[in-house]
Chain A
């Protein structure tokens, strides 16, 4: 049977070619996603490991948790004399005090914005780090060493002056350029190294330091020394292995990559599902065409299972070869994905790709399994071929839906719709997911039953286009299973595109409405849009000192642990916030925050059953779990404008967080001040803080919308991939149906259909299938998006914004793409020789 599979697959190779392409594309997506995220993870690990090379142990301030939402927590600075205490512990060979943190680099004209972070660190030589001087010398005083890669990129040479800022800002002379290990720098990262006193000044640490690296004496076991140090220093300090500390830093950075991996793999799965529909369809058609041959096999004594096995063997062959090529292509796709991700504002480290055995196994298995599973249905149908069919010169009769299929389909559909509605009304997002899956399966099952009527209706305009249009409509209606499977594949892809578009525009609309509570004229923000912003407090001070400014209020953000879940909070100044925002309190007062405690958003308070006077347990990285009294409840709109549902005073914040940077400074201008002039003044005042951006509300909103757009853009481009596979499906299905309908085409040509009419017929069929898919897909996408938004409305207002223009563009593009998908089969059909066609008996 295996030899039969092989020769069949080879004999029908062009019929299976597009199936093979679909498998390969889907697998390439899976492999590409895995390779990219593996590579990024490894590069990040290497990068952090390299910078901690040679260090045995690291002493830092103790923290309840290491990292939250992709950011390492800030720890308490260490007293300078701690280094002496550590040196005194037996077994310690050398120690090195260091101060490091996030910073910015400004070359005379432009701020250097690396794709990743700018690390401000303390210069050290081996054995403490892998930094190696490539040019110049180590930094002393007002000097700095930059990584060679950044210097090369921005044309900075030894002797130039640059501005380095963190909490404070200094102009420094470039003393040297450094490599890290063998490379010129860290991927997507700018490294700025100064001596310890300068770092302390820039980071505003006074005599404090952020960590102490320890090298153990020869012959001392590191784990024992670690225990000794921990015992000697007490619980206020954490002693970790140097590499462990590096790994923890890497983990924080890797967290965002793991989100990316989930998104990429989900999209790859969508591609594979679309591919599976296409594969099932292709095998179905090819086997129908071979019905007589299969019957002959059965007549010659092959059992049903043998026929089934031979078909599955063919699928296996297609699956394995497709998966192999797809995996190879996926490695290349990883580069493309990295480019796409960086266009969408997701910085991933650049470097050689990592291909793990796991990637190969997953990609190969996924491709092979999907193909074989998709061919299972057609193979089982083939096995049921009766031997007598070999004797009949029967036309393959299109099969309608069976009753069992109808019943289970309608049950699934009702369950899905009820589930979606219930979940939407109950604001239960998991329920929405379950409902969506039920609905999609119902459509796959019911597709063949629903298609004829739908095609009849959608195809009505085609009938006005004369005979080719009518014939196209007829043959689409006449082959419900094929039409349904082909359209369903495209519909699925389009549904996801529509879903993302509606969700995106609604999220943007929510974002726009949520800041209505802010009345500030201008705001100053860190240009890196991360939530834990890095504006020096001096920025707020300088802005407040300007004559044009009536009031300023600063906002900071922090992470805390809510049980096991990382959550965020906002710190505000109760005295000044009402001057820049319309604060609506429903209970308690904002001013009460000054006495400690927390203000909650109404919906959170209701959900938790808390009211003014109750206490909330919040875990902070520095002090562990704390009981905070609820001193007020805030309108949801106000809380949204402040970005989180938990609000502290800046004073309380300072007790629990060591970060001393502002996220946003809201500015109210004095009456009668010209806004444009005020902006110029503000810009001038903060000119030496390159990351400080002066924006008005509209620009800030546009910035947030642009961030949403970038991510949506990435997802849409990747979904385009699934749509592409589905369009290949249309081409494939039509090309196969041309083969199947050779005699029909010959007849049409004989009785007077012109070549032009024939190609119009095939193209019209492609367009009709695409139109069906568009209708089903957009409706499905809209429905699911509405249900999802309703399900999420517990945390945000229910705003459903349908981007009509965008959806219209999708509709037009899909129908045009359908036309393009029909071009090749149409050409094929038109080129069929009349005589050959009617002679095929």
Chain B
């Protein structure tokens, strides 16, 4: 397309060790009496090639953090980097192109365009960029996600688990530096949820894909390499190689610290 697109072409090898970084990020919603500080000097670094889970009680700022890292939302203070790019220096259009070229997304629900087939949904970011999918890579992804027989189906004809797998395919197709997954298993039964998490895990192990996942499910978080805990808009703790029990224990610790805040179910 234009010169601006070139700017966001994948950075030269070797991949920098830090895929994204938030530095003292402040984000306030509302003003005056009703102002809510969703992020209060939050700083976090996402290591490249790792599967990171973000956890925290309801209202702790998980989603705000991920939106800020993905350039979906502006911030009031601090800085956000994706790779070497400072998001605050980008225009709206440049941020859109960055999302298209360098980031992938999986949302909790409504991940797919109803009018497009599964295959078309997967290749959507490439289509938007006016590119074609590499045949081999597409086949590999489809095979990995077990969607060979479902490519011509519309989202309405797919099960919830299949829909989320298509969404994962779409998030990976452009070989993004970073994939954000916002409660990707939130609407799935436990079996489909576990399968989806295995796919994400596999993407990191075999493809070296960097993934950031927001979740409130300790079992889901246990699939990650590292868990970051948020409370009141700051990073308060983190775990490496987590297990569900350790995650639960850490969360319980947060609750003790803030007894008046109920834990999300």
Instruction: Give residues in A with beta carbon < 8 Å to B.
Output: 393, 395, 397-398, 466-467, 470-471, 474-475, 477-479, 743-744, 747-757, 834-835, 838, 841
Chain B proximity of A653: nearest CB distance (Å): 73
Q: Is B156 an interface residue (CB 8 A)?
A: yes
Interface set, chain B 55-92, CB cutoff 8 A to A: 67, 70, 72-73, 92
A751–B111 Cα distance when bound, in Å, is: 10
Q: Which of the listed residues A397, A744, A749, A754 has the most CB atoms from chain B within 10 Å of its own CB? A: A754
Given the known inter-chain contacts A477-B115, A835-B67, A835-B73, please indicate yes or no for A751 contacting B130, CB distance below 8 A. no
Q: Taking the nearest CB of chain A, how far is it from the CB of B146, in angstroms? A: 22
- Nearest residue (CB) in B for A743 is B110
With a CB–CB cut-off of 8 A, which chain B residues contact A467?
124, 127-128, 130
Q: Kindly state whether residue B97 has any CB partner on chain A within 8 Å.
A: yes
Residues in A with CB closer than 8 Å to B113 are 471, 474, 744, 747-748
A395 and B114 contact, CB distance less than 8 A? yes
Q: Is the CB of A757 within 8 A of B128?
A: yes
| Cβ–Cβ < 8 Å partners of A753 in chain B | 96, 100, 128
B45 in the interface (beta carbon within 8 A): no
| Binary A-proximity of B114-138 (CB < 8 A = 1, otherwise 0) | 1110001000110111100000000
Q: Is B107 an interface residue (CB 8 A)?
A: yes
Assess the A752–B130 pair: CB atoms within 8 A: no
Residue of A nearest to B170 (CB): A751
Once the chains are docked, how many angstroms separate the CA of A354 from the CA of B75?
65
Which residues of chain A have C-beta atoms less than 8 A from B21's C-beta? none
Chain A residues whose C-beta falls within 8 Å of the C-beta of B99 in the assembled complex: 750-752
* Distance between Cα atoms of A80 and B25 in the complex (Å): 111
21 residue pairs bridging A and B, Cβ less than 8 Å apart: A395-B114, A466-B127, A466-B130, A467-B124, A467-B127, A471-B116, A478-B114, A478-B115, A744-B110, A747-B113, A748-B124, A750-B70, A750-B72, A750-B107, A752-B99, A752-B101, A752-B128, A753-B96, A835-B67, A841-B109, A841-B110
Q: Which residues of B contact A755 (CB under 8 A)?
A: 92-93, 96
Chain A residues with Cβ below 8 Å from B125 are 751-752
Q: Given A751-B170, A752-B101, A471 and B115 touching (CB < 8 A)?
A: yes
Interface pair B100/A752, CB less than 8 Å apart: yes
A744: chain B residues at CB < 8 Å are 110, 113-114
Cβ contacts under 8 Å, A743 to chain B:
110
Q: How far is the CB of A72 from chain B (nearest CB, A)?
A: 66
Distance between Cα atoms of A757 and B128 in the complex (Å): 8
Complex CA–CA separation, A754 to B170 (angstroms): 17
Tell whether B51 is near chain A: CB-to-CB under 8 Å. Answer: no
> Can you add 18 more A-B contacts, CB < 8 Å, to A467-B127, A744-B114?
A397-B156, A398-B114, A470-B127, A471-B116, A478-B114, A748-B124, A750-B70, A751-B100, A751-B124, A753-B96, A754-B93, A754-B96, A755-B96, A834-B72, A834-B73, A835-B73, A838-B72, A841-B109
- With A395-B156, A755-B92, A835-B73 already in contact, the answer to whether A474 and B109 are too (CB < 8 A) is no
Cβ distance A73 to chain B, nearest Cβ, rounded Å: 68
Residue of A whose beta carbon sits closest to that of B128: A467
- Among the interface residues B70, B115, B116, B124, which one has the most CB atoms of the partner chain A within 10 A? B115
- The CA-CA distance from A470 to B110 in the complex, in Å, is 20
**In the complex, what's the smallest C-beta–C-beta distance from B99 to chain A, in angstroms?**
5
Contact across chains for A474 and B115 when beta carbons are under 8 A apart: yes
CB distance from A394 to the nearest CB of B (A): 9
Whether B229 is near chain A, meaning CB under 8 Å from some CB there, is: no
Pairwise interchain contact A474-B72, C-beta atoms closer than 8 A:
no
Q: How far is the CA of A479 from the CA of B114 in the complex (A)?
A: 10
Q: Which residues of A contact B96 (CB under 8 A)?
A: 749, 752-755
CB-based closest 9 A-B pairs:
A752-B100, A478-B115, A474-B115, A467-B127, A475-B115, A467-B128, A743-B110, A752-B99, A754-B96
Q: How far is the CA of A744 from the CA of B120 in the complex (A)?
A: 14
- For A474, give the chain B residue with the smallest CB separation: B115
* Interface residues of chain A: helix, strand, loop or mixed (majority): helix
Residues of chain A within 8 A (CB-CB) of B93 are 754-756
Give the distance in Å from the alpha carbon of A755 to the alpha carbon of B67 in the complex.
Answer: 18
Q: Complex Cα distance A757/B107, Å?
A: 22
Q: CA A93 – CA B34 in complex, angstroms?
A: 96
- The interface centre, meaning the residue of B97, B112, B114 with most chain A CB atoms within 10 A of its CB, is B114
Contacts of B73 in A (CB 8 A): 834-835
CB distance from B155 to the nearest CB of A (A): 8
How many angstroms from the CA of A397 to the CA of B96 in the assembled complex?
Answer: 29
Q: What residues of A have a CB within 8 angstroms of the CB of B124 in the complex?
A: 467, 748, 751
List chain B residues, Cβ under 8 A from A749: 96
Question: A320: shortest Cβ distance to chain B, in Å?
Answer: 36
Q: Which residues of A lie under 8 Å from residue B156 when comparing CB positions?
A: 395, 397
What residues on B are CB-neighbors of A756 within 8 Å?
Answer: 93
| Closest residue on chain B to residue A757 by CB atoms | B128
A130 to chain B, nearest CB (A): 72
Task: Name the distance in Å between A65's Cβ and chain B's nearest Cβ.
Answer: 66
Assembled-state Cα–Cα distance A210/B70 (Å): 95
In the bound assembly, the distance between CA atoms of A749 and B124 in angstroms comes to: 11
C-alpha spacing A466/B124, complex, angstroms: 11
Give chain A residues whose Cβ lies under 8 Å from the Cβ of B128.
467, 748, 751-753, 757
**Closest Cβ–Cβ distance, residue A743 to chain B (whole Å):** 5
Q: Which residues of B contact A398 (CB under 8 A)?
A: 114
Q: Residues of A contacting B129 with CB < 8 Å?
A: 752
Check B110–A395 contact: CB distance below 8 A: yes
- On chain A, the residues within 8 Å of B120 by CB distance are 470, 474
Which residues of B have CB within 8 Å of A757? 128
B101's nearest neighbour on chain A, judged by CB, is A752
Residues in chain A near residue B114, CB distance under 8 A: 395, 398, 478, 744
Shortest Cβ distance from B100 into A: residue: A752
Q: Which residues of A contact B116 (CB under 8 A)?
A: 471, 474
B residues less than 8 Å from A466 (CB atoms): 127, 130
Contacts of B110 in A (CB 8 A): 395, 743-744, 747, 838, 841
How close is B117's CB to chain A, nearest CB, in angstroms?
A: 9
C-alpha gap A754/B1 in the complex (Å): 12
- Give Cα A748 to B109, complex, Å: 14
Taking CB as reference atom, which chain B residue is nearest A473? B115
Tell which of A475, A479, A756, A838 has the most Cβ of chain B within 10 Å. Answer: A838
- Kindly provide the distance from the CB of A390 to the nearest chain B CB, expressed in whole angstroms: 17
Residues of A within 8 A of B97 (CB): 752, 754
Min CB distance B234 to A, Å, is 21
| Chain B nearest CB, measured from A748 CB (Å) | 7
Question: Which B134-162 residues have C-beta < 8 A from chain A?
Answer: 156
The answer for the CA separation of A11 and B28 in the assembled complex, in Å, is 30
Shortest Cβ distance from residue A398 to the other chain B in the assembled complex, whole angstroms: 8
Question: How far in angstroms is the closest Cβ of chain B from A550?
Answer: 76
Q: How far does the alpha carbon of A749 sit from the alpha carbon of B92 in the complex, in Å?
A: 11
- Nearest Cβ on chain A to B183's Cβ, whole angstroms: 11
Chain A residue nearest to B117 (CB atoms) is A474
- How many whole Å from B103's CB to the nearest CB in chain A? 8
CA distance A743 to B120 in the complex (A): 18
Name the CB-closest residue of B to A750.
B105
Chain B positions within 8 Å of A474 at CB level: 113, 115-116, 120
For the complex, give the distance between the alpha carbons of A520 and B97 in Å.
Answer: 76
- A477–B99 Cα distance when bound, in Å, is 28
Q: How far is the CA of A747 from the CA of B170 in the complex (A)?
A: 12
Complex Cα distance, B129 from A395, in Å, reads 27
Distance in Å from the Cβ of B102 to the closest Cβ of chain A? 9
Cα separation A475 to B112 with both chains bound (whole Å): 13
Chain B residues in 8 Å Cβ range of A477: 115
B67 touches A751 (CB 8 A): no
Docked CA distance A743–B70 (Å): 18
A761 CB to closest chain B CB (Å) equals 10
Cα A478 to Cα B115 in complex, Å, equals 6
Residues of A with C-beta under 8 A to B67: 835
A197 to B: closest C-beta gap in Å: 86
Expressed in whole angstroms, the Cα–Cα distance for A557 and B125 within the complex equals: 76
CA distance A834 to B70 in the complex (A): 12
Nearest to A396 among chain B residues (CB) is B114
Instruction: Tell me the B8-47 residues at the A interface (CB within 8 Å).
Output: none
Task: Assess whether B107 is in contact with A838, with CB atoms less than 8 Å apart.
Answer: yes
